[in-house]
Structure 1
């Protein structure tokens, strides 16, 4: 096991349900300094686990473990933190309670403060649903978070984003005829269709038109869709996926007692220096949506990733995109927060 467990105990979720024996899986990189002010929090995205964040961590990079103490908490529902696949009855599989991004960030705050005694975070960074968590950190703990850098992530699922996530859910639900009483019959084999649906959203029109999958070693479009999209989704537990999809569809940073649904107020309350990096060709977390959000955050700049890799410009696959993200993170970390 290359990660650690932080026991949360019996936690009251935003839904009102108490999840017994909850826990957060996390991994740290580097060392916490004496002043405890070299902290970077880097939450995982939908379907990802901590090791899938490691492409952005390394010597000489912005997230340099020789300089920073980097904490990567795993999203609830991802199979490592409390999830449908690892929770005992009565909350196992299809019976796992609804968990929000607000819940996730609240638990991460417990980890950071109770386990490590940290009071200041230099940066919260994340891709996709990790990006939503970066926004939530900034809105929930503005006095604590000095910088945020969401990339290919938005502060709430705008209606189109919600519909995309719903299409992934529907492709899975169709395997049991949309019968909620049959959810426990779902298997990883049923994830094949989910991968096919996501294949059309994860990458841009230009990526497919220019057949960039050939650079990845695939001879045909069919081989690529089967070898990447089907294969990666069929490794996931369907109940974990349904749990994370619910989290994503209800991930509004203002949907909590602090802001009572006032999205504009939540964005205006983020005092952190913010570098927001949408993929310029992202089809469902669009640069337009990020522009709207950035306009409301007092200290935000928008830096679209110039890439035809769509949503996956932030996935750590394409070298030029990786360099763009790392360069902007270095610049952001070099900026003074005037404290």
Structure 2
């Protein structure tokens, strides 16, 4: 026969009251934090799964931020090239050079030369456009000075790119290396390295070398391939024409003007092709940005599905736990005082 003593009853009551109090505190914490658990030990399986999802979510967000920045930069580059291609090169420069070849416009050759020079200077300014603190067409060294500079050497204007004359054949190797510069960015294409070497197809090259778009070096005739330099040479030829009659300074000037105008048309076609390719890359970045945004949203939903508590259910559980705790307190008031035998012992 087991004798139920008051002390035994009190010990059992205290233990039950403590469990009820802990249940109230856990339910209250769940309501306040709206989280299914507050420590790894409470639900190791869910916590492990949430940790993996959060790691993927953090990586995706980093890729998304990089892609957004790169997309904005390439969009600005597309706008700049479109302005160079449509408004200046294919508009003012081409029209002015063709008009200058027409004898009917002979008297206006000098003003047309000024238009060509102005167009060339405007192209240089546009190609020195900035996105934030970096120069869009500065290649991988986009934080230094403006990449394109029009300098006067020996009384002639010379275009340079990052301090290197673009029309000097001796600089061909250096300029070629500049066009091949890379600045790889992870845009969520499965960045991969093999033996410490990055697989270029798994990343996106964010470097834009300006001379890749407007040309560099000279051709077999010794004429510049650079659009700006061609405009400048045409401007010089038209500037030497007679101010009143527009007569050519020499037959060679007339021949050179005809030849250079054709090459200006070719360079405009080339920059059109470059703009089309750049627009394709911008579209790819836009698609990547949309894909990463959707992926980040999906990952966030999965994380919330694991970690976030059902608030209605949590409030119901808290109300029930509070009710049980209050009931336990009332039971304590009904427990009898110590019996005479307990007192004598």
Classify the TM-score, shorter chain: under 0.3
Higher Rg? 2
Q: Could you tell me the TM-score, scaled by structure 2's length?
A: 0.23
More strand by share: 1
